[in-house]
Chains A and B, each alone.
Chain A
Amino acid sequence: MEAVRRAPDPAAWDLNPFFSSFYPQLRSIARARLRAGRDSLLDTTSLVHEFYIRLVESGNIRAEEWPRFLSYASRAMRNIIVDSLRRRGAARHGGDLRQTGTNQAASHLPASGEEEILAVHQALEQLEAIDSRSAQIVEMRYFGGMTETEIATALGLTERTVRRGWQKARLLLAQALG
């Protein structure tokens, strides 16, 4: 605790470099999220929570950094998920990357889930350009598995706004994805 009590430079509140050292662990959470999928929105959130609690216990993070941690975690999880799906897709479809030919299990899976994720990602990139806040809400909700309350806290918005923003953006995305 001593370290925390020293007078900090407000600039040190920018935590991204620190967070990024936890990227590998977030990657595990992202994988768990994909595995749990529609069965359980909550389980991933719980993993993020547990991870966070562990960070707090280890003295590596302060409780009030929770909101920022959430938005960072969502962004990281999106990157990881999309990145791995792309590699996987490339491997399966014999794309630009080398084809491994051994991924039998993957070919048994319905591709629609993967396609949906990649399409949402692509649509989000465009939504970011025209309405960055809605895009962030979608990112935290869809990729990060965060609750509306958490999103509202992290973005400093009212819960009503988050709910409505999610509702509208979801309609737009649903329309775009057919």
Chain B
Amino acid sequence: MTIPSYNRHDALKPRDLENHFVGGWMQVLAIDAVAWGALNRLLDIALDLPAAERSDWVECLGPEYEQLKPRLRDLLQRAEQEGAGGILDTIPKIGDEFTVNGDADRAAHAPGDAIGLYRLERELGEGGMGTVWLAHRPDGFINRPVALKLPRGSWRRNALAERLAREREILAGLNHPHIARLYDAGLTADGQPYLALEYVDGLRIDEYCRQANLDVKGRLSVFLQVLSAVAYAHSQLVVHRDIKPSNILVTNDGQARLLDFGIAKLLEQGQARETELTELSGRALTPDFASPEQIAGKPVGAASDVYSLGVVLFMLVTEGRPYRLKRDSRASLEDAILHAEPPRPSEAAAEPSFRKSLRGDLDWIVLKSLAKEPEQRYPSAAALQADLVRYLRHEPVEAGPPSAAYRMTKFVRRHRLAVASAVLVTLALIGGLFGATVGLLRARAAEAEARTEAATAERVSAFLVDLFQTSTPEEAKGRELTAREILERGAARVHDQLADEPLVKARLLRTIGYVYTNLGLYPQAGPFLEEAIKLARSLGNRGRHELAIALHRQANLHRLTGDVTRAEAEFREAIAILESAVGPSHPDLGPALNSLAILVRSRDPEEALVIYRRAYDLLVAEHGEPNGEAGVVLSNIGSLHLRARRWREAQDNLEKALPLVIWFHGENDHRVGGVAGNLAIVHKELGNYERALELSRQDLDLSSRVLGPTHPAIGAIWLNLARVTARMGDEQEALAQTEQALEIFRRHLPPSHALRVTAENTRGLSLFRLGQRAEARRVWDELLTVSSESVDARKSLLTTRLMLAEFHGLSNRFEESLALARGVLADPLIATDPHLEAEARWVTACALARSGSFEEADAESRQALHLHATTAPTLEPVTLFAHAKYLACAGDEQRSVQLLARAVEQGFRDAAVLTDPAFAALHPRSDFAPVAAAIPASDRSR
């Protein structure tokens, strides 16, 4: 049994429960925000418990929850009953006749109804566009029962009538033993369109094969009948477009019939446009058998039917589906159809005896039918049919293991869609090499050197292309190559093959290191860049250009991994070489300056600003204005202001940078995400949380598509999102978002990296605010053992100490609190950051006040206020907030509330006043109510 931990709920103790269940307006939900907030939290805990332990847990809840218990019990009971889901899972069906305007609707058909010359007997089934009835003609004109197709309801009857008309036209031209015959079509007197088709009394093809217990050969022979029908249709220039088992019936005597040409289309010049499917005429494409081009809404041809036939064949021989989905949703199915490679049937087959006969040729035949690109499939059903017949006659088949070139295309396509960085980088790389050459040509016009450069670049690109094209035994086995494998293979070959071409070798080593860096695989990148630098250095003058670029790459890597001292030295060396040996217009120079400024900015913002300006001028001089790279620099200037908490300047530069960056790099560039993300921070600080949230989400969405969801930069975005969420009062979600960030950081960054420290800080704070004090303390205590060279990381670690100091102070451990805060004040870094210093002084003041040293405390608080005054011309809400926090800590509740009220008046909306335990004492005060009311409603549910 689990004993509930009361400490965890202290912070959310419900108040005034008696008043929460008054009747009146609350007729449906019968709950208010406070009660729901408490219930919500209790549910979170209870639902995490095993079902069997929940009722005991409820009983153990304290008396303050007495009022909530019956309701909680009922909710938990429902949760248990519901199990797999069900209730409210989807909206109820409202019937076929639903119309928005409440038009008169046609009654549903019933047995015995007359439709034209036919009489209905029983309903056979329902399709996407109508019902199908078994019917007969009393006049005996057609001697057999027919399948009568009727559109459903009156909704868009015209469109459906058109469809029927098309089906009629198409079927009228098709006459094949394995295609269900069309007898008649027409319109009744009251406008009901109908279609009378051959009635096939049979089983779905897959059920038939199962019930008849057919072996692989038996199944193939039934399937060949279907192929002959589709091949015939193709020869008449008709594409079926909806081939699936439920449209293929097999009669008792083993005769297959293809049904439902309802969305078939006459081919015009080989392709049919898929527009009808999106015309909302009531028929959605069945995704399970749809081809990738149908999913993507592209024009479809006969090869699309080949794909659907491939899926049916796959199912017939394996008894399974080609795609195993993690989640059963249409989106994941579509994703699989577009991107996932199906397994080989021999591996997927449920029946062990089938596997052997599938292995080899049949595998390739099925997989060729299921190729993503139409041109890789059989061009028509006839071609598939021919290959299957060849297989049955033991002749060599056309299908075989995909070629290396084809696999490379697949690789590129898949990664372009999945993790864009991998291939973009790999491809950009080749372009980049030539780009550098052109830059150099322009810069120096030194023919000999230019020729060497061109030759080297050519040699390098030939090497890369070769890398992708050569096949290995693994490829023949049908396994996919990953970007990493390509790189690893490249690395091995660089050493084997290029010993006597040092310049080419250096460039390739640098390139491989660069790709690793861009993939976020930092530990792998290092050795390559180091070796490239060593090699370039050994070449003297001949290698200096390569040396500069390799140093630039290495510096970037070191910057990313937090080794800032080395990074700065390398940037400076690279810049020096570029300037002296190549000239100011080298394409690497602007970016290198930009990166250097990023490093310098935390230590010396003013120097950084100077460097940025230089980079900006260089870029504008080189490329004119407006200019995308310059836009990036502008955005960095904005973020410099952001770091200096000059929100308005930051906003100005960032708003200016954003359109420039979009303009030049396109909307799907990760830099756009970066600028949006920074702008989000500015808006968060200015109190525009909704805008901040919107920008952060945009950043997250865009950047994860470009960089892949586990790139370290994505972690930083989650972290920013967490902070906005926290400001809006949802610490639980903020915590979840922070943990998302940490999950990514832990994979790629050392514990001493500034981002990781910052994320841990944030996690501790959320835990603290959620009342999980022991966990919070553990997080912070652990950070105390971390050390770093990076200024950013060190500042973050100082922040850790301040958080911990505040925590100790609130827990009446004044000694610890004071020691930590004073330790921070003694750190040399504090002189560079007045905000951090002010923060440290506030915490010190609080500890002093609570231990009774009021005079000293006041002195500290005045210093803190003075520091705020030196950095901002006006009294900002943040300052008021910090001061109010100190007063609350010092026990001057009235003045604390007054200051908060002033902050709120100035637009301050940080939910910290509700979630931060430092303000807990203020909450019961009546003058606090207006402050609480200024925090948006959704945030108060907690």
Chain A positions within 8 Å of B153 at CB level? 35
Asked if A45 meets B100 with Cβ closer than 8 Å, knowing A50-B284, A153-B701, A168-B40, the reply is no
Contacts of A7 in B (CB 8 A): 626, 659-660, 662-663
Is B43 within 8 A of A37, CB to CB?
no
Q: Among the listed A62, A126, A133, which residue makes an inter-chain contact with B938, where contact means beta carbons less than 8 Å apart?
A: A133
Known: A43-B284, A127-B29, A133-B938. A54 touches B297 (CB 8 A): yes
A140 to chain B, nearest CB (A): 12
B31 at interface by CB-CB < 8 Å: yes
Contact A64 B100 (CB under 8 A): no
Does the CB pair A51–B155 fall under 8 Å?
Answer: no
Query: Within the assembled complex, what's the spacing in Å between the Cα atoms of A128 and B149?
Result: 45
Are the C-beta atoms of B282 and A32 separated by less than 8 Å? Answer: yes
Given contacts A64-B701, A120-B88, A158-B733, contact A172 B31 (CB under 8 A): yes
A29 interfacial by beta-carbon distance below 8 Å: yes
User: For the complex, what is the distance from the CA of A65 to the CA of B626, rounded to whole Å?
Assistant: 26
Bitwise, B315-348 to A at CB < 8 A (1) or not (0) is 0000000000001011100100000000000000
Contact A161 B736 (CB under 8 A): yes
Return the contact of B92 from the options A51, A63, A84, A116 (Cβ within 8 A): A116
| One of B561-569, B642-650, B690-698, B848-856 contacting the partner | B690-698
The CA of A118 and the CA of B716, in the complex, are separated in Å by 42
What residues of chain B lie closer than 8 Å to A103, measured between beta carbons? Answer: 102, 104-105
| CB contact between A35 and one of B93, B108, B700, B733 (< 8 Å): that residue | B93
Interface assignment of B36: CB less than 8 Å from any CB of chain A: yes
Given contacts A33-B91, A42-B329, contact A27 B97 (CB under 8 A): no
**Given A150-B331, A171-B75, are A67 and B284 also a contact pair (CB < 8 Å)?**
no
Q: Is A42 a contact partner of B330 (Cβ separation < 8 A)?
A: yes
CB <8 Å contact, B29 and A176: yes
- Residues of B within 8 Å of A, CB-based: how many? 87
Chain A contacts with B in 18-62, Cβ cutoff 8 A: 25, 27-29, 31-43, 45-47, 49-51, 53-54, 57, 62
- Residue of chain B at shortest CB distance from A167: B47
Residue of A nearest to B724 (CB): A156
**For the complex, what is the distance from the CA of A13 to the CA of B285, rounded to whole Å?**
32
Question: What's the Cα separation between A103 and B98 when bound, in Å?
Answer: 10
- With A41-B89, A88-B102, A171-B78 as contacts: A158 and B736 at CB distance below 8 Å: yes
A112 to B94, CA, bound (A): 9
Q: Is the CB of B667 within 8 A of A4?
A: yes
Is B84 in the interface zone, CB < 8 Å from A? no
| Chain B contacts with A in 14-44, Cβ cutoff 8 A | 26, 28-33, 36-37, 39-40, 43-44
Q: Is B700's CB under 8 angstroms from A156's CB? A: yes
Q: Quick check: A117 and B92 within 8 Å, CB to CB?
A: yes
> Residue B189 at the A interface, CB < 8 A?
no
Chain A residues contacting B409 (CB-CB under 8 Å) are none
Contact A31 B98 (CB under 8 A): yes
Interchain nearest-CB distance for B449 vs A (Å): 36
For residue B732, which residue of chain A has the nearest CB?
A161
Any A CB within 8 A of the CB of B211: no
Partner of B105, one of A29, A106, A160, A177: A106
Q: Is B917 engaged at the interface, CB distance under 8 Å to the other chain?
A: no
- The residue that B102 contacts in the complex, of A34, A91, A127, A173, with Cβ under 8 A, is A91
Looking at B91, B153, B334, B668, which has the most chain A CB atoms within 10 Å of its CB? B91
> Interface digits, A142-169 against B, CB 8 Å rule (1 contact, 0 not)?
1101010110010111101100100110
Partner of A170, one of B87, B658, B694, B697: B87
Interface residue? B1 (CB, 8 A): no
Cβ contact within 8 Å between B736 and A131: no
CB distance from A53 to the nearest CB of B (A): 5
**B29 to chain A: which residues have CB within 8 Å?**
123, 126-127, 130, 172-173, 176
Please pick, from B37, B91, B663, B693, the residue contacting A145 in the complex, using a CB distance under 8 A. B91
Taken together as a complex, chains A and B put the C-alpha atoms of A156 and B47 apart, in Å, by 23
Count of CB-CB pairs between chains A and B under 8 Å: 238
Q: How far is the CB of B667 from chain A (nearest CB, A)?
A: 6
Q: A174: which of B78, B97, B282, B696 is its contact (CB, 8 Å)?
A: B78
| B36, B75, B277: the one within 8 Å of A131 (CB) | B36
Complex interface: chain B residues within 8 A of A73 (CB): none
Contact B663 A87, beta carbon cutoff 8 Å = no
A39 touches B662 (CB 8 A): no
Known contacts: A42-B329, A131-B36. The answer to whether A34 contacts B43 by CB under 8 A is no
B92–A112 CB distance below 8 A: yes
- Is B927 interfacial (CB 8 A cutoff)? no
* Cross-chain contact B102 with A5 (CB below 8 angstroms): no
CB contacts (< 8 Å) of B499 on chain A: these are none
Q: A131-B33, A176-B30 are in contact. Are A45 and B330 (CB under 8 A)?
A: yes
B938 contacts A132, CB within 8 Å? Answer: yes
Q: Which chain A residues lie closer than 8 Å to B660 at the CB level?
A: 7
How near does chain B come to A177, taking the closest CB pair, in angstroms?
Answer: 8
B446 within 8 A of A: no
**A156 and B696: CB pair below 8 A?**
yes
Q: Which residues of B contact A43 (CB under 8 A)?
A: 284
Residues on B with C-beta less than 8 A from A45 are 329-331
Please tell me if A76 contacts chain B, counting CB pairs below 8 Å.
no
Bound CA–CA A109/B108 (angstroms): 11
Q: Do B697 and A156 have beta carbons less than 8 Å apart? A: yes
Instruction: Judge if B268 is at the interface, Cβ distance under 8 Å.
Output: no
By a CB distance below 8 angstroms, the chain B residues around A126 are: 26, 28-29
CB distance from B287 to the nearest CB of A (A): 7
For B71, what are the chain A residues with a Cβ–Cβ distance below 8 Å? 175
Could you tell me the distance between the alpha carbons of A103 and B104 in the complex, rounded to whole angstroms?
A: 5
- Chain B CB within 10 A, most for which of A32, A51, A80, A123: A32
Q: Decide if A164 touches B47 in the complex (CB within 8 Å).
A: yes
B284 lies within 8 A of A53 (CB): no
Chain B contacts for A38, CB-based, 8 A = 89-93
Mask: chain A, 104-145; 1 = CB below 8 Å from B; 0 = not: 111011001110110110110011011111000000001101
- Max chain B Cβ within 10 angstroms of own Cβ: one of A63, A88, A171, A175: A171
With both chains docked as a complex, state the minimum distance between the C-beta of B710 and any C-beta of chain A, in angstroms.
Answer: 14
Q: Could you jot down 23 A-B contacts, CB within 8 Å?
A: A4-B667, A7-B660, A10-B658, A25-B280, A31-B100, A32-B280, A41-B89, A42-B330, A50-B284, A62-B667, A84-B98, A106-B95, A106-B102, A109-B94, A117-B94, A127-B29, A129-B33, A131-B40, A153-B701, A158-B740, A161-B733, A161-B736, A167-B79
Additional 14 contacts, C-beta under 8 A, given A38-B93, A156-B700, A167-B47: A29-B280, A32-B280, A34-B98, A35-B95, A50-B277, A84-B100, A105-B107, A106-B102, A114-B94, A131-B37, A132-B937, A156-B721, A172-B39, A175-B75
Using CB atoms and an 8 Å cutoff, list the residues of chain B in contact with chain A: 26, 28-33, 36-37, 39-40, 43-44, 47, 71, 74-75, 78-79, 82, 87-102, 104-108, 153, 155, 277-278, 280, 282, 284-285, 287, 296-297, 327, 329-331, 334, 626, 655, 658-660, 662-663, 666-668, 679, 693-694, 696-698, 700-702, 705, 721, 730, 732-733, 736-737, 740, 937-938, 941
3 closest cross-chain pairs (CB), A and B: A37-B93, A113-B92, A7-B659
